[in-house]
Structure 1
Amino acid sequence: MDTQTRHSSLKGESILAELSIDWKGRPCKPNKHGGMRAALFVLGIQAFEIMAIAAVGNNLITYVFNEMHFPLSKSANIVTNFIGTIFLLSLLGGFLSDSYLGSFWTMLIFGFVELSGFILLAVQAHLPQLRPTECNMITDDNCIEAKGFKATIFFIALYLVALGSGCLKPNMIAHGADQFSKDDEKQAKKLPTYFNTAYFSFCVGELIALTVLVWFQTRAGMDVGFAISAAAMGMGLVSLVSGLAFYRNKPPQGSILTPIAQVIVAAITKRKQVCPSNSEMMFRNQNLEGSLNVSNGFRHPDKFRFLDKACVKVQNSSNSSNENESKESPWRLCSVKQVEQVKVILSVIPIFACTIIFNTILAQLQTFSVQQGSTMNTHLTKTFKIPPASLQAIPYLILIIIVPLYELFCVPLARKLTGQEKGISPLQRIGIGLFTVTFSMVSAALVERERRNNAVHSNKIISIFWITPQFLIFGVSEMFTAVGLIEFFYMQSLAGMQSFLTGMTYCSYSFGFFLSSLLVSLVNKITSSGSAALSTGGWLSDNDLNKDRLDLFYWLLAALSLLNFFNYLFWSKWYTNKSCPSPSPNDQINTVPV
């Protein structure tokens, strides 16, 4: 081995040792820890966990409506609120991981929390005395009391699952990506492949959940289905623990919210200072930088200039620079890296917000579209029926084929056309998905109008396969949007914030599902006000889709989706046009005399 090669090798080992440790707290070895081998164990728990949660979430409306006897619109809101809570709790999981527990222990602890929720759901679904009987809650006082007690047990189990799954999700993605060092050029190039592989793992889990597990739920009962979900979750935990000796673990960095708060407080405190005229005048405080475990190659956005004041060194004329620097509080003087990270978080919020409508459409496919399929002809043969929830498996079946083809053929072709290592950028990938998803709702609206006209006017039930296109189109759009968003957020983060920023991507799902609940309520309220044409009083106010106007609701979502796409074009251009390279490591602090 020549001197230069040996030096590069030692440098690589030094970087890995500084940024990652093994499960015993010792510095990682590049030839033993990390890489795709370690990531495979994380992909295992991801596949099993999504298998378990998808089997529950995608068919939950059937259980809530048929077994818990809630009205259809309330059942849809229960499902969307449950799934929305899962994704909202991903911020908690990311915060605990980056600040205190580390990703491995966060996954292990909350994996068992999720497992306990599945077990409690299975117990309730198995015991008739824990499920309410169908009755009139308006006229029967005993019904209200019984449903209240039994519903409490149901919601406790449901939100144990939500808490566990929510805290797991960002850590599975971040921990898997952490196995590839961003400081190692060879490993960094594998990150896009990992994200595509992670999505492939997700598709496999979804496919099994929506076919095998949903079939068991339909044929053997929801109690058996929930028990199988519990077993899948247990297998996922086994996969996680099996990779313990191979993981590169990022040690927790302490509260990740404190540096953000310090920047805001410092900027407000120095609000009367003159802001530097351009970003090149922003420099590093080497002492503060040394205390932060940060990655190189970060971009310093040339926006939110007010925050730059947090980096300005205020020098009293009576004191020397070194003496004043030693007395400077971290709540008055922040490093450039801290300011950069706060700026990036603020900068990506519009990108994040543009994916909320996308996930509102996902909420419809998991609620109203499932109920839509239950009113159609589900016979594949004379004896075999397709569970309506299993229709959501169609896009994942196609994506299991498309994702490898995309990685093997489309990415190399895109590299030649664009000259980018990733083929297309994460922002371009998100944009393709946001444009494509509009056609999912167009298809859904056209099919629902056809289904309703046949059912109402001809007393004819059309085949369930009519709603296949809306699921298929959404699946393709999700391959672009979901993967692009996770990759985009992960690549913006610095050390100690990967899980938290990855958790922010899942908040888009949360807001999308909560917006779905809000839209359903608003649409019912608005369309029922003074509407003589609609005897039902609202588009979605009945429990009968033949009386409801679900097709008009789908058209509304299609229009919102198209407007959202143009909104995204504006913000993505704003983001890409407002960045400049980070200052060099040798830069010093800009000082402003008082």
Structure 2
Amino acid sequence: MENDERSKGGDSTSSVVVKDGYVDWRGRPCKPNRHGGFRAASFVLGVQGFEIMAIAAVGNNLITYVINEMHFPLSKSANIVTNFVGTIFILTLFGGFLSDSYLGCFWTILIFGFIEVSGFSLLSIQAHLPQLRPPECDMFASAPGQCEEAKGFKAIVFFLALYLVALGSGCLKPNMAAYGGDQFPREAQYRGGESKKLSTYFNAAYFAFTIGELIALTVIVWIQTHSGMDIGFGISAAAMALGLISLIAGTVFYRNNPPRGSILTPILQVFVAAIAKRKLVCPSSVALYGSESHVNGSIVSPSTKKFKFLDKACIKVQDGDHKKESPWRLCSENQVEQVRLILCMIPIFACTIVFNTILAQLQTFSVQQGSAMNTHLTKHFKIPPASLQAIPYIILIFVVPLYETLCVPFLRKFTGIQSGITPLQRIGVGLFLSTFSMVAAALVEHKRRISAVDSNKIISIFWIVPQFLIFGVSEMFTAVGFIEFFYKQSLGNMQSFLTAFSYCSYSFGFFLSSILVSLVNKITSSSGGWLSDNNLNKDRLDLFYWLLASLSTINFFNYLFWSNWYSNTTSPSPSSSTTPHDPIDNIA
């Protein structure tokens, strides 16, 4: 009813008014010929490209700054970086909650974008002013403990700047992905000819991500290395500012999903009501599942009989009076289906954590691995180790469009799926490939270490290209499939929050990396510790990589089990109906 009333107040000059609850920047119902589509999504892609350019230039080369300028030891520096990245992605849940519940995607991106710019600016100021950094010292040439690490006010400034960036970037990420997806009508996700548009958008978003990463890892990292980290951090601040300009430029074209209050309250109500009515008997399966539930204009087909105890939250107690039950005692099928679907997605989420632990190594230990190799491209030109991460993105600039234009149509002929393969299949391919990235890393590190220790020979930095290249292709499948999966499974007004789950996996992966590093050092302390020395020639990074390859293999087979388990869950299907579904009467 609310959506219908909104549409009646729309502009009569348009022949069609969208009745799905989305509004324009003035709060009026959207019109398909004016709002949304690829035109609007292109402005969001601009934000994504500039934001990843800014954050990647900092995150991927941060370990160099932490060691060389802040003078933290290697293992502690690696943990600082992984904790920083982990914090970014855990904050995506906060950003998604704020957006869906109170602010909306546009204002969340705008507000936290300015916070991120502030963090980059403060990092640039600290890197520029010597009085805000410890005295200069060569960490690797000096004896252990001889270099003064950042403490007191200097450490406070550093971590304040770092976590302003984390807060801003974390709250932006799920909203950029969800806001771009929102530019396509909700039912477009499920219509045969239209469903490809959303999949194409997510591929385009990954392409924008690739371009941003590539510029960050080549141009900006090169500037950081040769002109100073202060200039590099300043460029990141400028890039983020350009992203906000891109966001604002598309204001009149956006479809906006208005916030509707706390998204967590309905979820908690289901658990409270189900526990309160745990002793009641549910109606027959036909009565329970034979009806449809509705969410903001979309009918959600009941998923499965998984977590059937939740259905008790829908039982309407026949107590003889006509008083309306409290929402904490009686819930709609829609609420139950939201909770059921979230619970079903948790195992899929968990299976990507090890994948992101591998990503953490490529941004920390692999960068230091490259630093211990011959970085000369020519006699006078040296490759910044962090720039090696640009190699897969150079390849992906060509691979992503080829995948969209050649592979998807080819696969569609065999699968009948508009996007070629399902998001779950795409995730599985990526998880399978990620194992080989760590196998390549372990073999190369073994060769590097043997050559350095036994022959005093430094091998070329290009030996570590395969581990970056394999993981880049792996990430194209897993990252895009994961975001698309969570966005398509989102119900009602939870697009940003559930999309945040896909990013939150990065957080757990990076935190797991920190835990593994500390745990491995503790367990192997009797033999000196695999990762306890600042000298990679004394450490056993190759054995650590083999450990991750083993965990990745186990994780892949674990994913096969849970994805098959999830496959029984039915995805949402569109409908124009907006009539709320009544709770179930207790017929027992």
Place the TM-score, normalised by the shorter chain, in its bin.
over 0.9
Determine if contact 2:57/2:221 at 8 Å carries over to the other structure: yes
State the SS of the aligned residue for 2:303.
strand
Q: CA deviation at 1:278?
A: 2.7
Given the alignment, which residue of 74, 77, 81 partners 1:75?
A: 77
Q: CA deviation at 1:332?
A: 1.1
1:116 and 2:113 aligned:
no
Given the alignment, which residue of 266, 273, 297 partners 1:266?
A: 273
Match of 1:467 in 2: 464
Q: Provide runs of 4+ in structure 1 moved above 4 Å.
A: 12-15, 134-140, 283-286, 578-589
State the SS of the aligned residue for 1:376.
coil
CA RMSD, 1 decimal: 2.3
1-structure distance, mates of 2:49, 2:388: 19
1:519 and 2:516 aligned:
yes
Determine if contact 2:195/2:418 at 8 Å carries over to the other structure: no
Match of 2:285 in 1: 278
1-structure distance, mates of 2:233, 2:262: 36
Given the alignment, which residue of 216, 229, 232 partners 1:222?
A: 229
State the SS of the aligned residue for 1:377.
coil
TM alignment of 1:56-71, pairs within 5 A: 56-71=58-73
State the SS of the aligned residue for 1:183.
helix
1:174 and 2:174 aligned:
no
CA distance 1:581–1:27, shift in 2 (3 Å): closer
2-structure distance, mates of 1:279, 1:155: 57
Match of 2:296 in 1: 293
State the SS of the aligned residue for 1:89.
helix
CA distance 1:299–1:468, shift in 2 (3 Å): farther
2-structure distance, mates of 1:280, 1:461: 72
Match of 2:207 in 1: 200
Determine if contact 1:356/1:511 at 8 Å carries over to the other structure: yes
CA distance 1:279–1:565, shift in 2 (3 Å): farther
Match of 1:407 in 2: 404
1:328 and 2:325 aligned:
yes
Match of 2:584 in 1: 590
Q: CA deviation at 1:182?
A: 2.1
1:250 and 2:240 aligned:
no
2-structure distance, mates of 1:493, 1:203: 25
Match of 1:3 in 2: none
TM alignment of 1:401-550, pairs within 5 A: 401-528=398-525, 531=526, 534=527, 537-550=528-541
Q: CA deviation at 1:420?
A: 1.4
Q: Which runs of 5+ in 2 are unaligned?
A: 1-11
1-structure distance, mates of 2:404, 2:272: 45
Determine if contact 2:434/2:474 at 8 Å carries over to the other structure: yes
What amino acid does structure 2 have at the position aligned with 1:257?
A: L
% identical equivalent positions: 72
Given the alignment, which residue of 322, 341, 344 partners 2:341?
A: 344
2-structure distance, mates of 1:578, 1:256: 22
State the SS of the aligned residue for 1:91.
helix
2-structure distance, mates of 1:212, 1:194: 26
Q: CA deviation at 1:19?
A: 1.8
Match of 1:569 in 2: 560
What amino acid does structure 2 have at the position aligned with 1:170?
A: P
CA distance 1:137–1:163, shift in 2 (3 Å): farther
Determine if contact 1:275/1:305 at 8 Å carries over to the other structure: no
2-structure distance, mates of 1:394, 1:299: 45
Match of 1:6 in 2: none
**Cα shift readout 1:496-551 (whole Å, capped 9, x = no counterpart):** 100000011111000000000000000000011xx3xx3xx100000000000000
**Cα shift readout 1:104-133 (whole Å, capped 9, x = no counterpart):** 000000000000000000000000000012
Match of 2:3 in 1: none
Determine if contact 2:301/2:571 at 8 Å carries over to the other structure: no
1:312 and 2:319 aligned:
no
What amino acid does structure 1 have at the position aligned with 2:436?
A: F
Match of 2:219 in 1: 212
1:240 and 2:242 aligned:
no
Determine if contact 2:44/2:246 at 8 Å carries over to the other structure: yes
Q: CA deviation at 1:419?
A: 1.4
**Cα shift readout 1:385-419 (whole Å, capped 9, x = no counterpart):** 10000000001110110000000010111110111
2-structure distance, mates of 1:64, 1:439: 29
**Cα shift readout 1:151-209 (whole Å, capped 9, x = no counterpart):** 11000000000000000000000000000012244544300000000000000000000
Q: What TM-score do the two structures reach when normalised by structure 2?
A: 0.92
Match of 2:91 in 1: 89
State the SS of the aligned residue for 1:19.
coil
**Cα shift readout 1:290-318 (whole Å, capped 9, x = no counterpart):** xx5252354423200000101111112x3
Determine if contact 1:137/1:143 at 8 Å carries over to the other structure: no
CA distance 1:203–1:553, shift in 2 (3 Å): same
2-structure distance, mates of 1:416, 1:589: 43
State the SS of the aligned residue for 2:373.
coil
**Cα shift readout 1:17-47 (whole Å, capped 9, x = no counterpart):** 4421111111111100000000000000100
What amino acid does structure 1 have at the position aligned with 2:584?
A: N
Given the alignment, which residue of 360, 364, 371 partners 2:361?
A: 364
1-structure distance, mates of 2:509, 2:283: 39
Q: Which moved more, 1:147-156 or 1:296-305?
A: 296-305
Determine if contact 1:15/1:183 at 8 Å carries over to the other structure: no
Determine if contact 2:521/2:529 at 8 Å carries over to the other structure: yes
Match of 2:548 in 1: 557
Q: What TM-score do the two structures reach when normalised by structure 1?
A: 0.91
